[in-house]
Structure 1
Amino acid sequence: MLQIDDRRFSRLALFGVIIGFGLLLTALVAVIMAFALNQRSNALVTHTYQVADQLAQLEIYVERSETSSRGYLLVPDPARTQTFRDNSSKIPAATARLARLTADNPRQRENLKRLMPILNTEIQTLKGVIRLAGSGKLDEARRIFAAEVAKKRVNAIRALSTAMRAEEERLLESRSKTVRNFTTILFIILSITAVLLLLFAVAVIVIVRRYTETLLTARNRLNVLNNDLEGAVQERTADLQRAKDEIQRFAYIVSHDLRSPLVNILGFTAELEETNKSLVALLDRAQKEAPQILTTDSLAARQDLPEAIGFIRSSTQKMDRLINAILKLSREGRRTLSPERLKMTDVVKGIVDSLEHRITETGTTVTVDKALPDIVSDRVAIEQIFSNLIENAIKYLQPGRPGQIAVRGFAKGDRLIFEVEDNGRGIDVKDHERVFDLFRRSGMQDQPGEGIGLAHVRALAYRLGGFIDLKSALGHGATFQVNLPATYADQGVRN
């Protein structure tokens, strides 16, 4: 197996930080570009709808003016002349606002330039018709209306209005196409970034696991030598001190150099989610108001982009959990142990009581030996060791077989041996050593976990001056045997 020393690990960590920063920079640029284009596209689309709305409003005023004057010629009613005055008086303001809105478009300015004199002539003609009709010359007014209004200018006004609306629809299609194209490019960039982040996460996990295995192997060797070799105390103390320093440097690198990119990735992922909401809202509005402008690619992007963002988030969250697990192990290694006399029967029963809900839920029977030997050791470490072992026994029951768990213990010289036995699914012989490795699990993975429980148990046992063994066969339960000194003694390493 590839051995990773401090210098190599530091180089790899620095290289990983550079890669992570590059990926974050890529994602940041993509987000900024997407946000800028989204803002501009929203403004342009809003502008297009404003022009269309104002054009429709102008058409309404013209139609109402023409209709009210036509009605007055049919039935001279003063109320209709009031309707004409109300609507015709609004046409100049509506035309002026339409001119302001289309000032940036030469085509629309030309259309409006042709439309305005026709509108002015139309309104003046309608006013003249109404005045003639009001003075008693109804037949002459009707003749002028039929000759000049109904046949000529109304059609010209409608034709120019239609041309202006068509121009705005062309602009909307062009702008929507630009958004679709950029959305596709953004999706590709984010997908590639997600894949690279995943590969980066896998590489970091592999490097960290190998480095951790190197440290744990060193500590295992030192603890074995410490059992009976009093003459090697000084050498073991120096080795443990070096291992402690390595763990502290390792924890510093993980907590600072690796966690910072993760925080940034999670933050930018949230920004991507907010940007995606705006894009989805735009697509939803376009689908509702102009579905013909949407393509299959744009609809697919609305579904695929959230999935890509979720992929980035789940990958970084998993990496964060793994780093937290490593930090937990390193912090435990630095915690100051406080030995005290523990009544192991009471300690184990307290653990069982805390798991009563899970025990009842699974129909498991837990038996605790009433004569467990007392021990002088660190309470927190002891509780963590037996909590992990009993929890695992409850978690990995054999389906169809009522759970049976037994905790017993006995003294052997100046050491105490505790056993946690279950009748669960068991562990294959080839996996006996593997299950104690960090991030390694055995058998069917149908239970939650990151593969750190037994690694943590073994690290705690070593720290208390003991070790842990496993006896098991697949389908026939497992027995974990914890061998600890009856009285913990500080062996010269000040943590």
Structure 2
Amino acid sequence: MLDTSPESSAASPDAPARATTLSQRNFGYKVLALVALGFLAVLAAGISAGLLVGRVQTDTGWVEHTFQVQQQVQSLALDLQNLRTSRALNRLRHQNALNSPEAADYANTYRNIHTKLDSLARLTRDNPRQAERLAAFHIWLQRYVAVSAPGTFIGPADPVPQVNNHLFEQLQVLTVGLFGEEQHLLSLRIANERASIAIFWKVLTAAGILLVIVAIGSVTVIRRYTVDLAGSRDELQKLNAGLEDMVRDRTADLQRANDEIQRFAYIVSHDLRSPLVNVLGFTSELSSALKPLDALIERAEAEAPQIVEESARLAVREDLPEAIGFIRTSTQKMDRLINAILRLSREGSRTVAPERIDMNALVDGVIGAIKHRIDEEGITVRVASNLPPIISDRLAIEQVFSNLVENAVKYLKKGRPGEIDIRGRALGAQIIYEIQDNGRGIDPRDHARVFDLFRRSGVQDQPGEGIGLANVRALVYRLGGLIDVRSALDQGATFILTLPAVFTGEKEQAK
């Protein structure tokens, strides 16, 4: 047994849409996750690289600092050697004279040594071991200068040379200690620098690998989605092709059905008119026949009132005239309805002839045709001076505007000066016209029904059969447009026409 419940029948068409939506959502999540992962990888690599670059720069600065200290120590050792050489030459050449060139070299070298010691003290103030060596160096240097400076006494048994050599050896030992300490620090700092550089390259390599993985994953996901999308597009194209054929067939069927309905309406309305004319004719004859009957009743009442029955008198003077009047009113209303159906039928079979229409001139003609009513009611009509022109069927457009303007004049609000505004604007390939009034308005619940055939809204105090707006909608639809209304009770109404700027023909509109 087939399940024809709304739930089961509605589940099948929605399933592919839900599956497509879920697939698109999953794809979006995957791409977002991959992009986020790639961004985090780049961010982490950037932060790590920045930290490691700073670390490498710090290590490099310490290496340069160590080289600078070693250069100062080497220069200090050279100055010590120059100090010893100047002393020896002064003793050999000038017997320890104070005014010799070698004595001056000795003094300059001694000052240079003090300058380098101060510089080393500043460079190594963060190293307690080097500070101790420099303090000891100052002490031994003073002792050495005290026994080796030019002008010191030297006798046959003077032990100064032996003391001098001992002091100089102590200074050399301290110099070697200073250099060795810096050499040890240099080894450690170069190792730290190399380790930082190695970590930096590892981080860059890991980030690069992660980016490659993210790129491959993104390309794979996007390619898979693109393949699925291409397949879906092909399927959609096939469905669209089939749908277009189906719509074309259905449109042709509807057109044929519409033609049949129009022909049927024409035939029915035409055939109904013949008996209706007969009814109207016999009604007139009955109305004429009542006059001699009424005269006969009057004569009988005058000559022999006893033969006149009350029922006969009432029938001749009240019942029959009332029935004949009812028949005449009904047949006249039916005649108007049949004529309206015939007009609709003929309008549907008329060939549309598009031409360029000056809308300001057309609207002026419509207003001019009912100007006497507008003046009698004291209505103010304002027409925009720049109504956009249109290429469409002149007769149909004129009927549409005539009907809408006449309705605006017909359904005024009593006690309120009437106002009608007509304006228009171009919107792409469409043109929008608006006819606005300040009349009695239309209840929002009746906005759709006012366009139905033989349907009216509000108080029925104006002549009409409910055909005008139905005819307007049929004409607008045939011209490829739409009509809508915005209104509320006692707040006027605005009818909005949306029409193609260029009418391309009924066949093209149906495609």
TM-score by length of 2: 0.50
Distance 1:268 1:448 in 2: 26
Distance 2:468 2:456 in 1: 10
Distance 1:296 1:366 in 2: 59
Distance 1:276 1:440 in 2: 37
Distance 2:245 2:422 in 1: 32
Distance 1:238 1:388 in 2: 31
Aligned partner of residue 419 in structure 1, secondary structure: strand
Q: Compute the displacement of 1:316 (Å).
A: 1.4
CA contact (8 A) 1:237 1:491 kept: no
1:254 equivalent to 2:289? Answer no
Aligned partner of residue 492 in structure 1, secondary structure: helix
Describe the shift of the 1:310–1:327 C-alpha distance in structure 2 as closer, same or farther (beyond 3 A). same
Q: Compute the displacement of 1:327 (Å).
A: 1.2
Letter in 1 for 2:504: A
| Alignment RMSD | 2.1
| 1:132-281 matched pairs, under 5 angstroms | 232-233=247-248, 235-256=250-271, 258-281=272-295
Aligned partner of residue 420 in structure 1, secondary structure: strand
Describe the shift of the 1:445–1:487 C-alpha distance in structure 2 as closer, same or farther (beyond 3 A). same
CA contact (8 A) 2:479 2:506 kept: no
2:353 alignment partner, one of 333, 338, 352: 338
1:403 equivalent to 2:430? Answer no
Aligned partner of residue 332 in structure 1, secondary structure: helix
Letter in 2 for 1:312: I
> RCO higher in 1 or 2 (8 Å CA, sep ≥ 6)?
1
Q: Compute the displacement of 1:229 (Å).
A: 7.6
| 1:287-436 matched pairs, under 5 angstroms | 287-303=301-317, 304-436=319-451
Deviations 1:359-385 (A, max 9, x none): 111111000011000001111100000
1:469 equivalent to 2:488? Answer no
Matched with 1:458 is: 473
Q: Compute the displacement of 1:276 (Å).
A: 2.0
TM-score by length of 1: 0.52
Letter in 2 for 1:323: I
Q: Compute the displacement of 1:437 (Å).
A: 0.7
Matched with 1:482 is: 497
Deviations 1:157-211 (A, max 9, x none): xxxxxxxxxxxxxxxxxxxxxxxxxxxxxxxxxxxxxxxxxxxxxxxxxxxxxxx
Q: How many residues align structurally?
A: 266
Distance 1:471 1:452 in 2: 20
Letter in 1 for 2:311: D
Deviations 1:76-116 (A, max 9, x none): xxxxxxxxxxxxxxxxxxxxxxxxxxxxxxxxxxxxxxxxx
Aligned partner of residue 446 in structure 1, secondary structure: coil
Aligned partner of residue 283 in structure 2, secondary structure: helix
Q: Compute the displacement of 1:287 (Å).
A: 1.9
* Percent identity over paired residues: 57
Q: Compute the displacement of 1:302 (Å).
A: 2.1
Describe the shift of the 1:468–1:229 C-alpha distance in structure 2 as closer, same or farther (beyond 3 A). farther
Matched with 1:186 is: none
CA contact (8 A) 1:240 1:493 kept: no
Q: Compute the displacement of 1:235 (Å).
A: 3.7
CA contact (8 A) 1:237 1:493 kept: no
Distance 1:332 1:470 in 2: 23
Q: Compute the displacement of 1:493 (Å).
A: 8.8
